Amino acid sequence: MGTLEAILLTIATAATPLLIAAIGELVVERSGVLNLGVEGLMVMGAVAGFGMAHLSGSAWVGIICAIIAGALFSLLFAFLVLTLVTNQVATGLALTLLGLGVSGMIGEAFIGLPGIRLEAISIPVLSEIPLIGKLLFGQDPIFYISIVLTIVVMWFLFRTRAGLTLRAVGDSHGSAHALGISVMTVRYLAIMFGGACAGLAGAFLSLVYTPQWVENMTAGRGWIALALVVFASWRPLRVLAGAYLFGAITIVQLHIQAISLAELEFLPGVIFWLASLVKSIPSQFLSALPYLATVIVLVLISRNRRLTMMNTPASLGKPFVPSR
């Protein structure tokens, strides 16, 4: 396995949980609801996935339970913001607070236990292809699910009637309601889909990424997923690109630290000089890079008002009460 291939694989692993959680949140936001509770949903998925895998002995049982746990936990959020019309920002934050607490309590029993790893798929022959073999044909199943999920969501949103309905609800819940669409039903389903995705993303962390349970193991990835959705201006393919870009920045940053200048001496002068420059930057600045990059991209994409308006769900975050 070559170094480049290994780096690509690592990036794919780092990107997968972000991608899954962000795709789920994208659907939620497309329906006009802002759920800031992704972090809480993810961590609930992580503990449910680990716990059920541990109890049943099967990683797949864990994965399925995590998806269900995420969907159920998001129902709490849906009930508050949809049925009781509470403020979405505050409710989402409360969901995160609750999720971190509840998962910590549930997880006390699982601390220090070795996890069960979801086995990677390895297609013979094809996975032996240099450079891309393992990347395309030898990864864990969730990686493939994440890619399929992205494509399905893209197809659903822009090629199906149901997707059109969902976008209509997000763009103008008033008009959608007038047309006889049940705004409530659509949004309930969207929020539960988002919850299920966050749950799956969490289970990826506790069953594939680092098969173990520790408190707060999501370590802020739910927030990054939220940022990715806006970063991608609510388009699935751009979420995919964004997740991989974010993963790449994180991983390459670590590689830059690990490599020594002596190993880079073969590089042409300018590149060598650049590499030594990057190596001399304090690691805090490198760690801040992805966040700054997100801000810059946000500025770039929102500069064009017409384009942004076209993609942004106009009803995002606004409360809806059906009138009779």
Partner 1 sequence: MKKTLVTLMASAAIATMAMGAAKADTKACFIYVGPIGDFGWSYQHDQGRLAVEKELGVETAYLESVPEGADSERALERFARSGCNIIFTTSFGYMDATNKVAGKFKDVKFEHATGYKREHSNVSTYSSKFYEGRYVQGQIAAKLSTTGVAGYIASFPIPEVVRGINAFILGAQSINPDFKLKVVWVNTWFDPGKEADAAKALIDQGVDIVTQHTDSTAPMQVAAERGIKAFGQASDMIQFGKETQLTSIIDDWAPYYVERVKAVMDGTWEQQDVWHGMDHGSVAMAPYTNMPDDVKALAEATQAKITAKEFEPFTGPITKQDGSVWLKEGEQADLGTLLGMNFYVMGVDDTLPQ
Partner 2 sequence: MRIELTKRPQHSVLFSALSPFIALALTMIAGGLLFATLGKNPFDALYYYFIDPLRETWSLHELAIKAAPLILIAVGLAVCFSSNNWNIGAEGQFVAGAVVGSIPPVLFPDVQMFLVLPLMMILGIAGGAAYGAIPAFLKVRFNTNEILTSLMLVYVAQLFNDWLVRGPWRNPEGFSFPGTVRFHEYAILPQVWPDSGRAHWGFIFALVAAVAAWFMMSKTLKGFEVKVLGQSPRAGRFAGFSSSRMVFFAFLVSGGLAGLAGISEVAGPIEHLNEKISIGYGFTAIIVAFLGRLNPLGIVAAGLVLALTYLGGEAAQISLGVSDKAARVFQGMLLFFVLATDTLIHYRIKLAMRSHASGGA
Residue ranges binding partner 1 (CB under 8 A): 3, 6-7, 10, 13-14, 104, 107-108, 111-114, 205, 209-212, 214-217, 219, 221, 250-251, 254-255, 257-260, 262, 279-280, 282-284, 287
SS3 (DSSP) at 178:
helix
* Residue 241 lies near partner 2 (rule: CB under 8 A): no
219: contact with partner 2 by CB under 8 A: no
Q: In this structure, what token pair is assigned to residue 146?
A: 């994440």
Pick what 270 binds: partner 1, partner 2, none; C-beta below 5 to 8 Å, kind-dependent: none
CA 156 to chain centre: 18
Least distance from C-beta 104 to partner 1, angstroms? 7
- As a whole number of angstroms, the distance between CA 229 and CA 248 comes to 17
Q: Quick check: 314 binds partner 2 (CB under 8 A)?
A: no
111 binds, among partner 1, partner 2, none (CB under 5 to 8 A by kind): partner 1
Q: CB of 70: closest distance to partner 1 in angstroms? A: 18
Question: Cβ 41 to partner 1, closest distance in Å?
Answer: 17
133 binds partner 2 (CB under 8 A): no
- DSSP characters over 189-207: HHHHHHHHHHHHHHHHIII
Pick one of partner 1, partner 2, none as the site partner of residue 279 (Cβ within 5 to 8 A by kind): partner 1
The mark string for 10-39 relative to partner 2 (x by CB under 8 A, - otherwise) is ------------------------x-x---
Report what 83 binds from partner 1, partner 2, none; CB cut-off 5-8 Å by kind: partner 2
Query: Nearest 10 degrees: CA dihedral of 100, 102, 108, 112?
Result: -40
| Residue among 48 and 63 whose Cβ is closer to partner 2 | 48
Residue 292 contacts partner 2 per CB under 8 A: yes
Minimum CB distance to partner 1, residue 131 (Å) = 14
Tally Cβ neighbours within 10 Å of residue 83. 10
Cβ distance to partner 2 smaller for residue 118 or 245: 245
Separation CA 205–CA 105 (nearest Å) = 18
* Neighbouring C-beta atoms of residue 162, cutoff 10 Å: 11
Of residues 130 and 220, the one with the C-beta less far from partner 2: 220
Whose Cβ is closer to partner 1: residue 183's or residue 251's?
A: 251
141, two tokens: 């199943």
Q: Which lies closer to partner 1 via its Cβ, residue 50 or residue 73?
A: 50
Residue 185 binds which of partner 2, partner 1, none (CB < 5-8 A, kind-dependent): none
Q: Select from 26, 176, 197, 230 the one that contacts partner 2 (CB under 8 A).
A: 230
DSSP 271-309: HHHHHHHHHHS-HHHHHHHHHHHHHHHHHHHHHSHHHHH
| Separation of alpha carbons 128 and 130, rounded Å | 6
Q: How many CB atoms are located within 10 Å of the residue 258 CB?
A: 8
Q: How would DSSP label each residue in 72-135?
A: HHHHHHHIIIIIS---HHHHHHHHHHHHHHHHHHHHGGGTT----PPPPP--TTGGGSTTTHHH
Closest CB to partner 2 among 65 and 80? 80
CB proximity list for 5: less than 8 A, separation 6 or greater: 130, 131, 132, 133, 134, 135
Which residues contribute to the site for partner 2 (CB under 8 A)?
34, 36, 76, 80, 83-87, 89-91, 93-95, 97-102, 104-105, 108, 215, 223, 226-227, 230-231, 282, 284-285, 287-288, 291-292, 294-295, 298-299, 302-303, 305, 308, 321
